[in-house]
């Protein structure tokens, strides 16, 4: 079976291609390379011994999408393609709504045109806004604090409405908590452009000597050590979660949403400590004021995925920092 992986050259999409391949599902990658490198394809080949089909294209380009879907007899779409920087989304909201919402609608129309009925969508725990209770389950109220988050809320709504109108359609929104780590081979990982916004790549770049120190945003939160707590999930666990969701619901219809997290929260200081152990390097840090829009604590109730998908995360924080360091030390400047 062949599936289209939009954004498949990016961080999460590329790792998911490996998990799909391992499950006997053939990924066809569709990506405009706006936030990824063509070299990902070579790395995927080294890992899987398979050259995946790749189409350089934009999801706004309905004609190219339709042609790709038909030529490859695509049966489902794994939709990762999106812009993802929270801060940037507040500065350029229209660009985010266009790329993440309008383009997704275009793609859904194209899917309908060529008769593809199933989509697995990269959503985010950001759709829960400021948590009203912890752990967060899938019935937690939906909201957002920034345009990026609203794009995820809106696409979920579009998918739900579309499934109501077309009762043989399937849409699974996977709400990721904090994806981190790299493929255990060290051949593939996360390499953000510019200064990393997220914790793990910033720590990794500090450990490898690209940055002098890391700012810890806030040490006065109501958490055990005062620093922010998040549910970090290993990228390979996240990848297998996609396969599990697809296989469990392949014959179903309707709109479904699942948390993909470990159910456990770790503080910024705990992550830094684990990284120091993995790298055998000191990670210098300074306490800085809280970052605007940040919440104190966030972790998943991951029991629905366990119950319905027979999936749980298996890799712990040390595996996440080990693999992150393995990748960062092999490729200090990413693939470029």
CB of 170 to ligand NAD, least distance (A): 18
Q: Does residue 89 interact with ligand NAD by CB under 6 A?
A: no
Q: What residues numbered 59-78 form the site for ligand NAD, per CB under 6 A?
A: 59-60
Do 178 and 231 meet the contact criterion of CB atoms below 8 Å apart?
yes
179 interface partner picked from ligand UFG, ligand NAD, none, CB below 5 to 8 A per type: ligand NAD
CB of 168 to ligand NAD, least distance (A): 25
CA distance 230 to 252: 32
Helix-helix angle 103-114:147-165, to 10 degrees? 20
Do 86 and 148 meet the contact criterion of CB atoms below 8 Å apart?
yes
Q: Does residue 215 interact with ligand UFG by CB under 6 A?
A: yes
User: According to CB under 6 A, which one of 68, 122, 267, 278 is a site residue for ligand NAD?
Assistant: 122
User: According to CB under 6 A, which one of 27, 179, 196, 228 is a site residue for ligand NAD?
Assistant: 179
Nearest position to ligand UFG, beta carbon: 228
Which part of the chain contacts ligand UFG (CB under 6 A), choosing from 45-53, 72-80, 124-132, 302-310?
Answer: 124-132
CB of 165 to ligand NAD, least distance (A): 24
- 3-state class of 147 per DSSP? helix
Which parts of the chain fold into alpha helices (H)?
11-22, 40-48, 62-71, 86-91, 93-96, 103-114, 147-165, 199-207, 235-249, 268-279, 303-309, 317-330
CA distance 159 to 168: 13
Token pair in block for residue 97: 């709504």
- Tokens 């470990």 identify what position? 262
Q: Does residue 13 interact with ligand NAD by CB under 6 A?
A: yes
User: According to CB under 6 A, which one of 34, 105, 314, 333 is a site residue for ligand NAD?
Assistant: 34
Q: Does residue 258 interact with ligand NAD by CB under 6 A?
A: no
Q: What residues numbered 82-111 form the site for ligand UFG, per CB under 6 A?
A: 84, 86
CB of 98 to ligand UFG, least distance (A): 18
CA distance 234 to 65: 31
- 3-state class of 209 per DSSP? coil
Q: Does residue 108 interact with ligand NAD by CB under 6 A?
A: no
* Active site (catalytic) residues: 148
- 3-state class of 158 per DSSP? helix
**Pick 176 or 275: Cβ nearer ligand NAD:** 176
Q: Does residue 99 interact with ligand NAD by CB under 6 A?
A: yes
CA distance 251 to 248: 8
- 3-state class of 127 per DSSP? helix
CB of 155 to ligand UFG, least distance (A): 14
Q: Does residue 291 interact with ligand UFG by CB under 6 A?
A: yes
199 interface partner picked from ligand UFG, ligand NAD, none, CB below 5 to 8 A per type: ligand UFG
Would you tell me how many other CB atoms lie within 10 Å of the CB of residue 283? Answer: 18
Do 172 and 252 meet the contact criterion of CB atoms below 8 Å apart?
no
Whether the upstream peptide bond of residue 227 has omega within 30° of 0, thus cis, is no
Q: Does residue 84 interact with ligand NAD by CB under 6 A?
A: yes
**CA atoms lying within 13 Å on the CB side of residue 56:** 9
User: According to CB under 6 A, which one of 16, 126, 191, 326 is a site residue for ligand UFG?
Assistant: 126
CA distance 178 to 184: 18
Residues at the contact surface with ligand NAD, assessed by CB under 6 A: 6-7, 9-13, 31-36, 58-60, 80-82, 84, 99, 103, 122, 124, 176, 179
Residues at the contact surface with ligand UFG, assessed by CB under 6 A: 84, 86, 124-126, 149, 178, 197-199, 202, 214-217, 228, 230, 268, 291, 294
């Amino acid at each position: 079976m062949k599936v289209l992986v939009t954004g498949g050259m990016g961080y999460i999409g590329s790792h998911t291609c490996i998990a799909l391949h391992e499950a006997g599902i053939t990924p066809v990658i569709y990506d405009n390379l706006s936030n990824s490198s063509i070299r990902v394809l070579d790395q995927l080949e080294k890992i899987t011994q398979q050259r995946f089909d790749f189409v350089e294209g934009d999801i706004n380009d309905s004609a190219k999408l339709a042609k790709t879907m038909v030529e490859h007899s695509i049966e489902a779409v794994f939709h990762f393609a999106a812009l993802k920087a929270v801060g940037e989304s507040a500065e350029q909201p229209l660009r985010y709504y266009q790329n993440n919402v309008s383009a997704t609608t275009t793609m859904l129309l194209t899917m309908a045109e060529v008769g593809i009925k199933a989509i697995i969508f990269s959503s985010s725990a950001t759709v829960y806004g400021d948590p009203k209770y912890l752990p967060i389950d899938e019935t937690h109220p939906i909201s957002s604090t920034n345009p990026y988050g609203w794009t995820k809320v809106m696409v979920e709504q579009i998918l739900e409405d579309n499934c109501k109108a077309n009762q043989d359609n399937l849409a699974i929104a996977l709400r990721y908590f904090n994806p981190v780590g790299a493929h255990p081979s060290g051949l593939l990982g996360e390499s953000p452009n510019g200064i990393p916004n997220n914790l793990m790549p910033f720590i990794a770049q500090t450990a490898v000597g690209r940055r002098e120190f890391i700012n810890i945003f806030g040490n006065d939160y109501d958490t055990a050590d005062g620093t922010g707590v998040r549910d970090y999930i290993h990228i390979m666990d996240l990848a297998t979660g996609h396969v599990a969701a697809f296989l469990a619901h392949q014959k179903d219809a309707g709109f479904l949403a699942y948390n993909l997290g470990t159910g456990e929260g770790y503080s910024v200081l705990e992550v830094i400590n684990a990284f120091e152990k993995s790298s055998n390097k000191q990670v210098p840090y300074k306490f800085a004021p809280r970052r605007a829009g940040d919440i104190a604590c966030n972790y998943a109730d991951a029991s629905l995925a366990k119950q319905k998908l027979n999936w749980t995360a298996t890799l712990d924080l040390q595996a996440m920092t080990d693999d992150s360091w393995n990748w960062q030390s092999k490729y200090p400047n990413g693939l470029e």
